[in-house]
A and B are shown apart, each in its own frame.
Chain A
Amino acid sequence: MLTVLFRILRLPPGGRVEISAEGAASKQQIAPRKGGAARRISLVLLSAVVLFIALELALQVRSQLRFGQSVFNLAKGQTRYVQDPVTGLKLLRPASVLPGSEVEIRTNSLGLRSPEVTPARLPGSLRIAVVGASTVMGEMARSNEATFSALLRERLQKHYPDRKVEVINAGIAGYRLADQLGMLQRIVLPLKPDLVVVYPGFNDFADYCKAGRTPTASPREGLPLVSLPDWLLSVDAVRKKTVALRSAPPMPGKRLDPASIDLLPYRQRLEGLVTAARGAGVDLVLATNARAYRAEQPLEVQMRLSEQARYFNPCFDLPGLNTLYDRHNSEIVQTARRMDVPVLRLDQRIPGGQRYFVDASHFTLAGEELAADEIYGFLLDQHLAGS
């Protein structure tokens, strides 16, 4: 490809370097060539840029084929996510099929990875909504049918063969609790579900590292800078795959202490969800977050399974992340007890490890099925799935 490009540009294929015969190796020099001095340098840099673009294109094509998500969608105005003008929420592109060889996402007219839902309900039907982020959406689930929401619907439908059962998958990747509250208030509650299950996910944690950066006493005021665009995959892919290479010894005083995190805002957001559901007369279940790595696993297993979490939360080391996650789950449990809502300990019911997790937090198919089983069993035990 480069040769063709050079021919088009009428550039020579690059000169040769001669070693001057001045004796010792240390005297070797790059001999000057005739012709444009900058040409070769320009060619080298041009070839580097072309190769980098080629690599990036290859990664984008791969991402498009596997997940239906790439910069090409951005160029065509066919991005996976859209900002809904009515609700102001980030949603999946409504009524679309977002194809990929590994993950295919089909969305309903509301912009959810869920079957079509009408505001009007059939008499005697059961309608449950699961609110959350990428784990609920099924970031790594091959099809809509492989998400735990859909699997839960299957199980409930079998249990209630005479009733129409709907389980709305109201999870959107990247959602924090504040977004989940918006989803609950503006989309889920108007659909009048019988029950809402909230699986909060881990996205709220990312703010801690951003907030933890030490601000300078008097910040510099530089001119604006250009930085790498968010959609660039090559650098991101390399860094995600090489977290282990950058793993360093814990640095006391430099890493953020998870015990120092103020959980009051997190608690208030959880309470906001409960209050909103309660205000609409809808039952709500809070679920704790399950994760792949656990303190009881061997260290190397934990390190491998936690790579994604350490990539997104670089200000915590592994023990810190374990503590952070446990504190948040504990907060979910306490909030549920305080506000008298049922709590489902998915963190205790879904074991860690590669069998159930693709990465630190997203389920494999076995994980999706186990999650569906656990929620199903819990709802029946607690008599929350109607009678």
Chain B
Amino acid sequence: MSFQSLHFFLFLAVVFGLNRLLLRHADARKNMLLAASYYFYMCWDWRYAALLLFMSGVNFVAGRAIEASSSATVRKRWLAAALLASLGVLAYFKYVNFFIESAGQLLNTVGFEANLPLLQVLLPIGISFFTFQSLSYTLDIYRGKEKATDSFRDFALFVAFFPTVLSGPITRARQFMPQLEHLPKDDEKRMEEGLVLILRGFIKKMAFADVLAVQLVNPAFAAPSEYSPLFLLVAVYAFSFQLYMDLSGYTDIARGVAKLLGFDLMENFDRPYQATSVSNFWQRWHISMSSFFRDYLYFGIGGSKHGNVYINLYITFVAIGIWHGAGWNFVLYGVIHGSFVCFERWRRGCREARGLSPEPTSAGARLLAIFLAFQVVALSRILFRAPDLDSAAAYVSAMLQPVSNNAPFTLMGLGVLLLAVLLHYLPKGWFTRAAVAYCRAPVVLQGGAIVGLALSLAALSPGGASFIYFQF
């Protein structure tokens, strides 16, 4: 069930209504939300609801066992079991064919003729998100940062909560579970924020992400050799904004829906293309995911305190790359970002050693830093968008060794890209003012704006495009 479908709006209306009716019945409300979340997930594929349940069960049991035990060995064993089961499932569904393919290539390289058969595995939607979300709970209990819950129902709801189950934000148990303990009653501010977020999310997705995809990105990546370097470069920039509008649009809708139901989810983006360095970019981009890797992997392997910080950074960024997809292009994507983050860390150290500020302070230097960081992010995303390394290489080759002057820019494509860029660099306060103005307007105007927006989106959107991060 896609967020853009009529079915979802009917579903949301029913859930919203029931949630209101059950405001004073916490248990019934949680039961209803759990049932609704499983129904939502089963609309994508009913068979994988069992997987969701399994992931919840494993981490719930492990969490309780870890908390109940005072033996470090027992606690470690339970943690290992939870990691093995959760990551094992993720590895099987997401990476098994990558491993088989890579093994086959390796065997061929060393002289064996290997034609290993690939498995027919259908990737369960949202598996990377709900696996990490449930694992964060077990890891936090192991580290003593979280108390194990007594209620399997509450934990299952945390894992399967329908606004986040498909594409995050990857919510931490310590953010979400307390909200279940003290279910919010009635908060108009939160609801209005929710409505505004939902509207904003749809605009981002349908008026920006989908249009950029159809007008610029998809044609360029379908046959890069048929387009001029300028068109290919603009398409790369367009893809950066498409990706941002797509995932942040999804996040806005998810956060908005959660707010309508009385829950707060974390912010996932902070103007990522205003970053002054690649390191800064990762503090602003997909924050729930990057902070997960920082907290549980980077800190877990020593961070900057133990071992070689540069190796730790490389490991973390390669893992981030692989999390996005099973392919060498994603590995290389992680390596490139890891390299820049390592370089920036070394450079900061050098500047500090010379008594300089670690980051540029003048306006000109900051602008240049923003420009350069964006170039790294955007160009490395060729690896992200291309289906494999060869395709990425073909794209780069077409940019550097042009064979065509074809640059079929459309007014719609360029206009939407320019607007996306402009909106990204406008002051945040302007958006807040616009949201306030919307909420101040008479009810009929607010409703009319929703209808007008829906019809405009129907006119602009090529239709039927699912969110990019569903594939992860």
Contact = CB atoms under 8 A, between A and B. Distances in A.
A, B assembled together: yes
Most buried by B among A2, A44, A223, A251: A44
A7 to B, nearest CB: 13
Contact of A47 (B195, B446, B459): B446
B187 A32 contact: yes
B45 A245 contact: no
Given A41-B260, A44-B450, A222-B42, A14 B223 contact: no
Interface residues of A, number: 59
Contact of B188 (A37, A218, A252): A37
Contacts of A32: 187-189
Interface string B430-468: 101101100110111011101100110011111100000
The 5 closest A-B pairs by CB, nearest first: A47-B447, A25-B429, A14-B443, A249-B408, A48-B447
A250 interface: yes
Interface stretch (B136-144, B158-166, B213-221, B295-303): B213-221
Contacts of A252: 219, 222-223, 226
Contacts of A2: 443-444, 447
Given A43-B443, A47-B443, A227 B5 contact: yes
Given A2-B444, A25-B429, A52-B451, A226 B189 contact: no
A249 B215 contact: yes
Contacts of B188: 32-33, 35, 37-38, 40-41
Given A248-B462, A249-B219, 10 more contacts: A16-B440, A25-B427, A26-B432, A37-B190, A41-B191, A45-B13, A47-B446, A47-B448, A50-B447, A228-B6
B223 A238 contact: no
Contacts of B186: 36-38
B439 A30 contact: yes
A264 interface: no
Interface of B: 1, 5-7, 10, 13, 16, 20, 39, 42-47, 120, 122, 125, 186-195, 214-216, 218-219, 222-223, 226, 260, 408-410, 412-413, 427-430, 432-433, 435-436, 439-440, 442-444, 446-448, 450-451, 454-455, 458-463
28 contacts: A2-B444, A2-B447, A13-B443, A14-B446, A28-B433, A29-B436, A30-B193, A32-B187, A32-B189, A37-B190, A40-B188, A40-B192, A41-B188, A41-B191, A44-B443, A44-B446, A49-B447, A52-B451, A220-B125, A234-B455, A246-B412, A248-B215, A248-B219, A249-B219, A249-B409, A249-B413, A251-B219, A254-B218
A302 B187 CA distance: 55
Contacts, number: 178
Contact of B410 (A30, A217, A226, A248): A248
A242 interface: yes
A178 interface: no
Given A44-B195, A218-B122, A248-B413, A29 B222 contact: no
Interface of A: 2, 13-14, 16-17, 19, 24-26, 28-33, 35-38, 40-41, 43-52, 55, 216-218, 220-223, 225-228, 234-235, 238-239, 241-242, 245-254
